[in-house]
Structures are given as C-alpha cells and as structure tokens.
Copies of this chain bind each other. A is one copy, B any other.
Amino acid sequence: MNWQSIAFDWNQVRAFLATAEEGTLSGAARALGQSQPTLGRQVAALEKALGVVLFERVGRSLVLTPVGHDLLEHVRAMGDAAGRISLVASGRSQGVDGTVSITASDVMSVYMLPPIVAELREVAPGIAIEIVASNEIADLQRREADIAIRHMRPEQQDLIARSLGEGSAHLYAATAYLDRMGRPATPEDIARHIFVGFEQNDRLIEGLNEVGIPLTPEIIRVKSGNGVVFWEMVRQGIGIGVMSDDVAALTPGVERVLPGLGPIRFPIWLTAHRELHTSRRVRLVFDLLYERLRAGRPS
C-alpha cells in the first residue's frame, strides 16, 4: 500500500463531497453540521494539498471544474464506503440485538422487502426481523409492529412519519392475455376487457376514474383480498389489474395497458413510534428501509 499517496486529510474530502453535492458551502455546512467558514477552509486546503482547482468561484456560487468533476466520481465512492462502514458498525454495535417487527402490505412484503431483509441480516445479524404481512393497517400504538409501511400519512401525533415520496401505478396485464384479447387503444376500449380486482382498491378505482378510465366496481369479475393472489391472477393472464410500477417491473411476462395513460400516484409513508425512534435497533432498521425504498424515487 502506498501510504504516502493517501496521507492527505480525508475529512477535507468529505467537505468537498458535501459541497459538490449541495452546491454551496453554506448548504454543505448545514448538511454536515459544521460552519460555513470551516467547509470553505477545508475545501481550499484540499485544493492546495492535491494541487488542483476543484471549484471555480463565479459570483456567489461555486461551479465544479473539469478536474473537480472527474474527481467527484472517486470522492463519491469514498463517501459510499464511509456510509457502508457506518451501516455495518451500527449493525454490529453493542446493544442493538433484539427483534424488530415490520408491517406492510402482502404485496410489498413479498416483492419488495426480501432483498432489504437479506441486507439487514448481513449488516446486523443480531437483529431478528419479523414481517407482519397484512393489508389491515396494524396498530402501532398497541405494538402490533415497530415499523409500518403505509400508503397514507398517519393521523396520530405521537407517531414518527417519514415520506418515501410517491409511488406510481399503471394498468398491467400478461402479454399472453393481451395477445389473445387485443390491446386496448383508448380508455373506452377498456370496458370490454376482464378486470381482476383487489378488494381494497376502491381508492385505486377512484384513481383510474381520475386519469380517465370509466371504471365501476361492477366490472370486476375476479377479485381477491390477497394482493399476491391478485397479482398472480393477472400474471397468468386472467385479466387486467392495477399494480405499482415497482412490483410490475420485477414481474416478467406482464406489460402496461394503455402506456400513454398518466400514472396513478399514491403516497408511501414509513412510520414508527416516537419513543421507539430513539431505540438504536429500530432506528437502524428504519433508516435502512428509508434508504432502500427511497432509492430512485422522487423525494
């Protein structure tokens, strides 16, 4: 290992990373919980230490130089590694052992959570995870779960809620079904198709009406209260159904119906007890869920 080459101040790299990501020294200072003069000095010192100019001081804001842009890639890698260090250390830290229960819809439990749980198992082997897969909204107050993933903002004031942005859904059907029954070209064509329903998707039907699909609950001939069963019926070509794009993207053999139709948007919220939020164990799971479910989603 060439120790001489990495003998510069690594904290100055973090200062550069935050400044480049946030756009301003002041913003970086707010993000890192430091002062603006400190960040400015650290970035200047890094420029001096590396012998390159990272930012062009134009007006009141900073613009990355080409060199700064090329360096940013590796600086991000350094920051990512720092994040993993923090994550693994948190998971192995003393006193996090115990059980964390997560409640989510059956669909999300089946299609979205497993890889996150796998990562959690690696990061924090001492934490046991219980998944409560249910479409009933569990009562966090009564400790039916520690963390809930819901599609509405909780009303109770003593719950901590953090928005995961908005999910999007479209109409989907199996390619085999569409090959057989024809692909609807206009919203009106939908009426002569078979719809697979999900018991609690009144709100989704409202959403469909909003985006211009004249759908009534009566048109649904096949339905299930279990979202996985519902989706399996769609996948096997029984009819058209509404599904979140995230899950649909994971399912081969299905395609969008009326792709031009605007998406049905729904909020996603991560919820936990306020007091539990001070538990390092729950905090760790909460933060990881936030990071992984937020990925690639507008916040």
Contact residues of A with B, CB < 8 Å? Answer: 1-11, 13-14, 18, 21, 31-33, 50-52, 67, 70-71, 74-75, 77-79, 81-90, 92-95, 287, 291
Complex interface: chain B residues within 8 A of A85 (CB): 13, 50, 71, 74-75, 78
Using A9-B11, A82-B10, A92-B70 as known contacts, say yes or no to A31 and B3 having CB atoms under 8 A apart: yes
Q: Which of B10, B67, B86 contacts A14 (CB 8 A)?
A: B10
Cβ contact within 8 Å between B7 and A21? no
Interface of A is mostly: helix
User: From residue A208, how far is it (CB to closest CB) to chain B in Å?
Assistant: 36
Complex interface: chain B residues within 8 A of A77 (CB): 77, 81, 84
Cβ contact within 8 Å between B84 and A74? yes
Complex interface: chain B residues within 8 A of A6 (CB): 14, 79, 82-83, 86
Complex interface: chain B residues within 8 A of A92 (CB): 52, 67, 70-71
Using A81-B78, A89-B71 as known contacts, say yes or no to A94 and B5 having CB atoms under 8 A apart: no
Residue on B nearest A76 in the bound complex, by CB: B81
Cβ contact within 8 Å between A8 and B86? yes
Residue on B nearest A47 in the bound complex, by CB: B89
Cβ contact within 8 Å between A32 and B7? yes
Complex interface: chain B residues within 8 A of A13 (CB): 10, 82, 85
Using A79-B1, A92-B70 as known contacts, say yes or no to A10 and B10 having CB atoms under 8 A apart: yes
Task: Please measure, in the bound complex, the distance between the C-alpha atom of A149 and the C-alpha atom of B87, giving whole angstroms.
Answer: 44
Cβ contact within 8 Å between B5 and A287? yes
Task: Please measure, in the bound complex, the distance between the C-alpha atom of A14 and the C-alpha atom of B8, giving whole angstroms.
Answer: 10
20 A-B pairs within 8 Å (CB atoms) are namely A1-B79, A3-B31, A3-B32, A4-B33, A5-B287, A6-B14, A8-B86, A10-B10, A10-B13, A10-B14, A13-B85, A51-B95, A52-B92, A52-B93, A52-B94, A70-B92, A71-B89, A74-B81, A75-B81, A77-B84
